[in-house]
Amino acid sequence: MHRFATFLRHWLCTATLAVVAAVFSSIPATAQGVESLESAGRQIVISLADRRLYLMEDGSESRSFPVAIGRPGVAIPLGDTTVVRKRRNPTWHPTASQRRAKPSLPLSVPPGPNNPLGKYALDLGWTAIAIHGTNEPGSIGRRVSSGCFRMMPADIETLFAIAEVGTPVRVVDVSMKAPETVPAQPGKAAPKPLPPVQVAKTPPPVPPAVLVSVVAPAPIAAPIAAPIPAPIPAQIPIVPDPRCSTATAPLRRMVCATPELASLDGRVRGLQERFLTGLSPEGRAAASYALLQDERRFDDRITALCWIRKGSEADPAVATAAHGCLRAALSGRMEEVKTRIAELGGVATVAARR
């Protein structure tokens, strides 16, 4: 009888341990602590869905900052990397693709108010990708960059002081925000809370993996009918957009494929190139950068005014509306560039006399 009791006791202990092991092995890693985040130490997580940079301490968020991310059509790297270099007052060197798209770009832009990197830059392990400041604070929170992650001047200064070389960085395309809870109403059962968002483990970056959805612009009261200016003088050369061969955005493809729109756009570029050719090397670099910034703002504006969903340009009604919107915008763009050139010409003349 004593031997049977001993056997039964050992059997119960073994069965209990087996059940406990089975229960714990069935718990997913993300439930024990989000698998894709480090359990200890400091790291940076950038959520493309939130357009925010999260500074994590020991696996928990300590603070977050808004960021600008790559514009539609630009490949945004996903996955893991690290901070490989810190630069204070960085010099901006346009990439080869940026110079192909805009041949008039200078080879470099020194530190100063015209530098798009701002005062601080954290270079990442991916080629030509960095977390940096900006000289255009209004772009933060939008999809406007060439692949880098822009921050407000005060925010990048804070991050620059905290993050060290070697700090892990992860870019994800899911939201990091906690789910909202709905208060219970009298007489009704409290709704079940939404499950927490888990950050899935992301494979190494794949170049063509881009976000193709475009955020709808804020409602516009009514389309602004821009007056059509007088015919553009024939002597202005037509300079084709070098981006046409690789354009993926619906509006840019429409401009490239429609002779009337391509001609209007090409004459604007021709006017700019003719102006830049007559400047000194010093004046050309500054004026070229100013015109490039104007072009980016114009692209943002037509994206908001003439926006169409990718794949819908085959709809005749959509194409007709977008064509009329683009024609009015490009016609007004010529007058804007003429005014801007007059301003830059005066500044260049004063600079040349000093």
pLDDT confidence of residue 216: 46
How many C-beta atoms lie closer than 10 Å to residue 351's C-beta?
A: 14
Predicted pLDDT of residue 126 = 92
Please give the Cα distance from 136 to 37 (Å, whole number): 32
Tokens 């804070």, residue located: 158
Among 290, 238, 247, 231, residue whose Cα is nearest residue 265 = 238
Between strands 168-172 and 42-47, the pairing is: parallel
- Largest Cα separation within the chain, whole Å, is 112
Domain with CATH 2.40.440.10 in the chain: 42-172
**Which residues of the chain register pLDDT less than 50?**
17, 19-36, 38-39, 180-182, 191, 193-203, 206-218, 220-234, 349-354
As to burial, measured by CB atoms within 10 angstroms (0-12 exposed, 13-18 middle, 19+ buried), residue 213 is: exposed
Residue 317: what residue type? A
pLDDT in tens, 62-76: 889 999 999 888 888
Is the domain spanning 42-172 CATH 2.40.440.10? The answer is yes
Catalytic residue IDs? 132, 148
Fill in the DSSP letter of residue 109. Answer: B
Distance CA 118, CA 232 (A): 37
Query: For position 132, what pLDDT does the model report?
Result: 96
| pLDDT at residue 96, rounded to an integer | 82
Residue 284 neighbours by CB under 8 Å, 6+ apart: 104, 106, 276
Alpha carbon of residue 348 to chain centroid: 32
Are β-strands 168-172 and 52-57 bridged in parallel, bridged antiparallel, or unpaired? unpaired
pLDDT reported for residue 196: 43
